[in-house]
Structure formats: structure tokens, C-alpha cells
Amino acid sequence: MNFLRGVMGGQQSSGVQPSGAETIQKLCDRVASSTLLEDRRDAVRALKSLSKKYRLEVGTQAMDHLLNVLQTDRSDSEIIGYALDTLYNIVSNDMEEAAESEEENQQVQTEDLGVQFTELFMKQENVTLLLSILEEFDFHVRWPGVKLLTTLLKQQGPQVQQIVLVSPMGVSRLMDLLDDSREVIRNDGLLLLQQLTKGNAAIQKIVAFENAFERLLDIITEEGNSDGGIVVEDCLILLQNLLKYNSSNQNFFKEGSYIQRMKPWFEVGDDNSGWSAQKVTNLHLMLQLVRVLVSPVNPPGSTSSCQKVMYQCGLLQQLCIILMATGVPADILTETINTVSEVIRGSQINQDYFASVNAPSNPPRPAIVVLLMSMVNERQPFVLRCAVLYCFQCFLYKNQKGQAEIVATLLPSTIDATSLSAGQMLCGGLFSTDSLSNWCAAVALAHALLENSTQKEQLLRVQLATSIGNPPVSLLQQCTNILSQGSKVQTRVGLLMLLCTWLSNCPIAVTHFLHNASNVPFLTAQISENLGEEEQLVQGLCALLLGICIYYNDSSLENNTKEKLKQLIEKRIGKEIFIEKLVFITKHEYYSKAAQKPQPSFSSPDHMMFDHEFTKLVKELEAVIIKAVYKSSEEDKKEEEVKKSLEQHDNIVSHYKNVIREQDIQIEELKQSVSSLQAKNEQFQTTVSQQLAQIQQHKDQYNILKVQLGKENQHHNTHNSNAQVNGFQPEEVNRLKEEIEELKKQQDLLKGELSEKNVLIQNLSSQAGAQIGQVTGASEEAAELQKDMETLRSQLIVQSSEINRLQTERLELLQKLEANATKTASGDHATEPKNNEHEEKLANLLKELNSTKEELKTVSEEKASLKLELDSARSTAAILQDEKQKLTLEVIESKKEQDDLLILLADQDQKILSLKNKLKELGEQVEDEDDLESGDAGDEDDLDEDGREDDI
């Protein structure tokens, strides 16, 4: 203020006091022309002090200079803070010192000044500059910046929202205010975000995805939930702005598991006395936030999922505890009832839980009964009774199980005289002297019948004892009796809504209603009278009821068929008057209000006339009733015939649909069984093919062994017979020749097969080599398996050498045998004992040969077991490469067959050599040694090829 005193002091010395406008002009000149930062800062400080008293002058003269300061003096936080405070005082309407200048207030109103200066500020497009200034952490800059932006949003909300939305990181900068450690800035940041998120879904989504839910719930928890102060209220208002009518944010809130964090809000404790006003406000906002998530106007899928989560996390249970608690303020209790209503509306699991809730009384009573007692009690507050009615309606909404339970409490077989039931409370309210109780009970009972023909028929069984000594009358008849007694309009409207709901789409109920001869004359008399506006509403409902009796009439009563009722309307009332009375319902203002939302909301009890669900029924029936009244009897007959044909057609279609559905089920079952049988068949075929291959292999082995055994026996017998006559007989020699020929043929065949196997093995080996090259270095496990395979291969080589050794020993034994046979044949007809001695030696040699064969068989079995181990190792390696496994198995099988062929060839070659030698000794002509050597050379080549294959 020193600078201000200097400016003012110079004028005072001359005796003329300057005006405020002159002072402000000089200050503005100083801000614009001073080169020293201190002078500009003092001038801006002086403008700030004058901005409240001389708001108009400062706004018109200094705004441009202040905006220039914000752009040029960003480095000095003090002058920026003064400029922001001055701008806030200019655009804000909350002025404490505005009343000091009466003349200025008379010229320009405060509200108009705020709007004008805000528009001036917006025209300069300085909101982006203000957003960038908010990044400063200095308290003297950030706090006035937050207040200024909040005021701009109040004055020009949509324009500021659009600028913030297109500004880079604009919303993120504002969200950072919630993390400020200074509570003043954080709290004012909440107010700013409240204004920012009003009515702008795009900004609401951005704020939600900036982790707003987490931050706000943390603040509410830190502040003490419902026991917190005004900050909790601000957080709850901001949450409502983010969630209301925004299904995207609602889904994000649900999927983020934030509903579960709402449960501690409603843990109010046992002591409910002494609630502070702030706690009542906080809890009221918390209940409204729950209703935002399960509101009937939300998408059905979103509402049902939120309802499910609220039951699973225990939120519904906590609300029911508050509902049944004592000492809860009336407005909190009313809002809790409304909240529970929408949490259970249309959710079967929540409705079932609510039906099981009992009040903490002695004996315990169902919560539904306790609530109905409040609804029919005329001493209870009006808003509370409306809330209970809404809760009962939501409990029965799309809940046929609950409807059946309510109607069952009215049936004679289930009435319990020792305890109060929901049905008894409804009947008590229906026939009470309080018209509001009559209306509420009638609407509640109508909701127990909505879209439920079964319960409409069951309610016809209800009998009421009106007085002692008189026979009981049906509930339907008692309702019509009360109508005819001329009670209050509200009572009659409620009963007519009940009857219309009851009789619609229920021909049996229509028949019961028409069976009473006084009902139709009463309705026609009511419709035809000329009465006031309120009575016209009753007349319209009577016309609706009579139209329902026409449209849903099955003509089972001769005196009240469709045609006779229409003739009665035409004669007694007139079709035009009837239609005029009928359409009056939908034109009434009470009808329009009730049709807006499901919750009953009326300014006074006298305005409670229509129910939301009943307005839907009227909308459906109005057109069809008008059409039915104007139809002729011939058209009715045609329509009935068409209906019958359609019913028959529908029955046929439904029958065939059921048949087709059953056939589809059977086809699916058959498809599944066929697929399983095909899989089993493939398995069986694979098993059979494997078994056939094994059987064939065993047959081949058996035939070979059989041939070998037969040849050995023949050889043994021939040797014995020839030993008696120079060692051999001519017949045996011929037989030996034939066997040699057969063995040669078999040898040729085996050689051909062996050559084919060699070619196949070479191809498979090359493929296996290529596959091995592809999977080299695949893993350490593969390397270990390869090592194991090399080890097994080396063991096979050792076994092969052992087999070769045994074959060599066998050849030596055969040579010994041939030598002995030669000696026996060259002896000069030795004596019989000598022949016997040779026979014994020959027998010994044969035994040794058999033992050698057994050893060879044992070695072959060991070799087969080692090969099985090799197969298992290779099967483990086959996990890395399926194709390699197949190729490897084929190589193994081919090598196995080759080994068997080589063994057989070796045996046959040795036998052929031995037999040829014997034939030569007997003087028979045989092939030359060169042929034998060539054959041996061929065998050696085969052996060499086999050895090379083993190396591969």
C-alpha cells in the first residue's frame, strides 16, 4: 500500500482527492510502463486491494494489464498470485464489500458484472494460460488459480469444459490437485472438479480413467467415512457426477472392485443416537450413490451386475441392518428403504435374501410385514409410506416366487391366525378408513398379480368374513361392494386399478366378475353420468374395466357375452362417449407424472392416483379395447376363428418345435457317440494292424524255425541211415538236393528283400540325417538323449560282434561235423561199433549246436531288449520333432528286419556249404567252388553294408 499512499498523497497535498477511477488508471499505467519488477508488483497489489470496492473500474481498465502480467512475469510467483486474486475478485459474484458502494450497485448488478467479465476473460482465450499456471506448486499461485478457474466454470461451464478438453494434459493437471498435501488446495480442487464434470460425459470418462475413484475413496476413508466432514460430502458429490447417467464409468467402477469399498460406509454401529447434521448429509449422499449404480434407468445388464456384486460383498446385508435398526433418522431410513428397493429390483437372489430378513423383534417378524405395517399406518410420514410401497413393488418385480408367497398368505389353507402375514396387512389396508392406505394396499396387491395368470386365479379363492353370522364373500366381490358404496376418489381409483390388473388377460376372473349381476349396471351407470373432473377419472377407469370385460370375455355367460356387452354400451352410453371417457385417463396430468419413473413421487397424498406399472397396462389395453368395441359380431366370430386356428397352429408349431428340439438333442448325442466310436475305431484299427503285423512276423519266424527244425531232423536221420551203409542213403541225397534248391530260392528272395531294405534304410538314414541336422543344438536334453542313443548303439555293436563270434563258433562246429562225416565216409567200411562212436560224436556236436542256438537266441532277446530301450529313448527325443520319431522308428524296424535276414542268410549259407560238401563226398555233381565263393563274397558285401548301416 506504500505505492498507493504515494499516489494518493500527492493529490491530497493540493487539497483535491482523486477518484477511484483515476487511481486505478494510474496504477494500470504503472503496471504497463514500469521497468522494475518491484514497482509492477506493488501496483498489482494495489489493484488487488481496490478490486472489491471498485470492481467495475478494475475490471474494465486493468484486465488486459493483468493478463499481460500472467504471460510476462511467470518467474515471480508473488505478482502472479496478486494478479490471479485480482482477476478472481473481478469475475466472482461473492463480494463481501460490494454493498459499500451503493451508487455502483444501483447502476450495474453484481451478477451481470461477473458474467460480463467472465465473457471478456473467455474472449481472450486465457483458460489455457491459466491451466499452465496451475502447474506451479507455490501456494500463492496455485490456490488463487484454482479459485479463479472454479469461478469461470460456474459462469461459463460448457465453454471452459471444451477448452479444458482440447487442452493437452488439461484434465491431468487438474487431477493433480487431489494429490496436493495442502488440504486447502485439495478441497478447492474437489470443488473445481465438481464444476468441471457437470454434464460432460467425455470429461467424466477422462477423470475416471485418471484414477479418480481410487483417490476419492481413499480421501473418504481418511476422513472417516460417514463420520467425516464437508470434504467427504464434496467427494461424494464428485462421485455422483462421475457415475450418474454414465454407463461406461459405472462398469469401470464395478470392474475396479470399488463397490466392495462402499460397504464400510454403512457400518454405523449400534448407537444411533445423536447423529450430526453432517453425518446425515454424508450418509444420504452415500445412499444416493448406491442408487446411481442400480437405478432402473441404467442399462439392465449394468444394473443386474452391480446388484449381484452388492449381494456378494455384503452391502445389501449392511443396508438391511440399517433398515431394521432403531434410532435411525427418518430421512435416512426413508432413503435406505428406497436404496434397498432398487438393489433388489428384478434380482432374484437379492429378492430371496430380502424375503428372509427378519426384524429384531420378539417374536421375530419378516421385514416385509414390518414395512407393510408402516405403509398402512396413517400416522407414519407420507414419504416413508411411499418408500415402503416402492420397496414392496421392487420386491415383486419379475419375482413370480415372491408373488406366489404373498398370495399364499391370503389363501384359506395357509392362513396362520397366531401371527401377522403380508396378506393380512394388505387386506387390512385395503378395507381401512384411510384412503391413502386403501390406495397403497390396492396397488401393492396389484403388483402381486402383474403378468402372473396363476396368481390371478388363486386370488379368486380368497374368502373374507365381513361380519359375524354372515357368510363369507370373495375378495373380488368385496372390492366391488366398496366401489358401489361411493367412497373417496382415491380409494375407488386404487380399487379400480386392482380390478383392471386382476381381470386383464384372465378370462376366468372376468367370468367371476360378470357373474355378479350388479357389477355391469354399476359400471354403465358410473360411465354415463355427468360429474366433475375427479369423477371423470373414476369414469375413465370404469370404462377401462368394462372394456377389459369385453376384450377378455370367453362368452361363457349367456347374459354377458361380448356382443351383448357391446350392445349395452351402444344403447346405454354410446360408443363415442365410452371412448371419450376411456381416453381421458391418458390425458390426465397424474397419469403423465406416474408414467415417468417407477418410484412413486408425489408432492402430497391427494396426488397419489396412478401407479407406474398400471400406466403401462393402460397404454397396452387402450387401443385393443377401442378396436374391440367397434368390431361387429361377424368380425368377432372371424377373429375368434382366426384365434382358434392360430392357437391350433401355435400348438402344432410348438409340438413340432418340441419334436425338433428333442431330435436336435438326440442328433447331438448321436454325433458325440459317433465321434467317440470313430475315435475308438481308429484306435482299434491301429491296434489290429499292429497285432496283424506282429502275427505275420511271428508266423514268418515260426515257418523259418519249422523249416530249420525239419531240416535238422532230416539231416540227423540221413546221417544215421548213411552211417549204417557208408553214412548216407540215395533217397536222403535226393532230398538234400531238393532242400538245397529250396534254400537257394529262399536265399535269392531274402537277398532281394535285403537289397530293398538297404535302399530304404539309406533313404531313411538320409532323411533322419537331415532331421537331425535341423534339430542339432535344440536343447541339453536332446544332447543327453543323443548320448544315450550313442551308448545304446555301441552296445548294439558289441552285441553284433558277439553274434559274429557265435556264428564263427557255429561254423567251426559245422566244419568239425563235416570232417567227422568225411572220415566216416572215407573209412574202408568200418565196423559197427566205430559207426556208433561216430554217431555219438555227431549227437554231441548236435547238442553243442543246439546250445549254441539257444545262446544265440538269448543274445537276440538281449539285443531286442536293448533295441526297446533305444526305442524308448528315441520316443523321448521325439517330443522335439514328431517327424524325426517316425523316421527313426522306421529305420529301427528296417534294421531289425535286416539283422534277421542276415542271420537267416548266414545260417542258410553255412547249411548249403555243409550239404554241398557232403554231396561231393558222396560223388554227386554240385556247383563249383567259384560259385560258392561268389555267393560268400555277396554275403560279405551284405555284411559290409550292414556294418555301414550300423555305423549310420
Q: What CA dihedral angle connects 593, 595, 600 and 602, to 10 degrees?
A: 10
Which residues, including other chains, have CB under 8 Å from residue 156's CB and lie 6 or more apart? 118, 119, 122
- Residue 346 has a pLDDT of 93
Please tell me whether the peptide bond between 366 and the residue prior to it is cis, using omega within 30 degrees of 0.
no
Above 70 in pLDDT, residue 719? Answer: no
Selected residue with higher pLDDT from 486 and 660: 660
Mean pLDDT of 72-85: 88
> How many angstroms separate the Cα of 126 from the Cα of each of 66, 78, 137, 849?
11, 20, 20, 114
pLDDT at 824: 44
Instruction: Please give the C-alpha separations between residue 891 and each of 692, 768, 795, 886, in angstroms, as whole numbers.
Output: 20, 8, 17, 9
- Please give the pLDDT value at position 445: 96
Average pLDDT for 294-311:
93
Q: How far apart are CA 120 and CA 671, in angstroms?
A: 78
What is the C-alpha separation between 522 and 538, in angstroms, rounded?
A: 12
What are the DSSP calls for 230-242, one per residue?
A: HHHHHHHHHHHHH
Q: What is the pLDDT of residue 784?
A: 58
Give 863's contacts (C-beta < 8 A, 6+ positions apart).
796, 799, 803, 899
| pLDDT (0 to 100) of residue 311 | 95
3-state secondary structure of 365: strand
Residue 881 cell numbers, joined = 520333432
Task: Choose among 165, 104, 175: nearest CA to 134.
Answer: 175
Rounded Cα–Cα distance for residues 565 and 550 (Å): 7
Dig out the grid coordinates for 517 from the structure.
Answer: 349381476
Residue 878 predicted with pLDDT over 70: no
Terminal Cα-to-Cα distance of the chain (whole angstroms): 106
Q: What percent of the chain has pLDDT over 70?
A: 73
Q: Where are the alpha helices (DSSP H) in 177-223?
A: 183-196, 201-209, 212-222
- In this predicted structure, what is the pLDDT of residue 530? 78
Does residue 234 surpass a pLDDT of 90? yes
The DSSP symbol for 418 reads T
| DSSP label of 595 | T
pLDDT tens, residue by residue, 860-877: 676 676 667 666 656 655
- Say whether pTM exceeds 0.95: no
Q: According to the per-residue pLDDT averaged within each range, which of 468-472, 770-774, 944-948 is highest?
A: 468-472
Question: What is the enclosing helix (H) or strand (E) of 359?
Answer: strand 358-359
Residues 6+ positions from 422 with CB-CB distance below 8 Å: 366, 368, 369, 372, 405, 406, 409
Question: What single-letter amino acid sits at 193?
Answer: L
Q: How confident is the model at residue 932 (pLDDT cuts 50, 70, 90)?
A: very low
Across all residues in the chain, what is the average pLDDT? 79
pLDDT tens for 100-136 read 444 444 444 555 777 888 888 887 578 888 888 888 8
The candidate with the shortest Cα–Cα distance to 340, out of 310, 382, 374, 300, is 310
E-strand stretches of 389-489: 463-464, 473-474
More confident residue, 144 or 696: 144
* pLDDT: which is higher, 837 or 173: 173
pLDDT at position 836 over 60: no
Q: Which residue has the cell 397419469?
A: 591
> Residue 358: helix, strand or coil by DSSP?
strand
Confidence of residue 835 (pLDDT cuts 50, 70, 90): very low
Is 578:543 a contact under the CB 8 Å cutoff? Answer: yes
What are 117's three cell numbers? 467479465
CB 150 within 8 A of CB 96: no
| Per-residue model confidence as pLDDT tens digits over 139-177 | 999 999 999 999 999 988 899 999 899 888 889 989 999
Distance (Å, whole) CA 113 – CA 91: 7
Please tell me the predicted confidence (pLDDT) of residue 458: 93
pLDDT of 98 reads 42
What pLDDT is recorded for position 520?
92
* Residue/partner pairs of 946-952 with CB below 8 Å, 24 or more apart: 946/898, 946/899, 946/902, 949/758, 949/761, 949/765, 949/895, 949/898, 950/793, 950/796, 950/797, 950/800, 950/895, 952/761, 952/765, 952/769
Look at residue 12 in the predicted model and tell me its pLDDT.
Answer: 43
Distance CA 186, CA 190 (A): 6
Cα(58)–Cα(31) distance, rounded to whole angstroms?
13
Q: pLDDT tens digits, residue range 733-774?
A: 566 667 677 766 776 777 676 677 667 666 665 665 555 454
Helix (H, G, I), strand (E, B) or coil at 419: coil
pLDDT on residue 826: 47
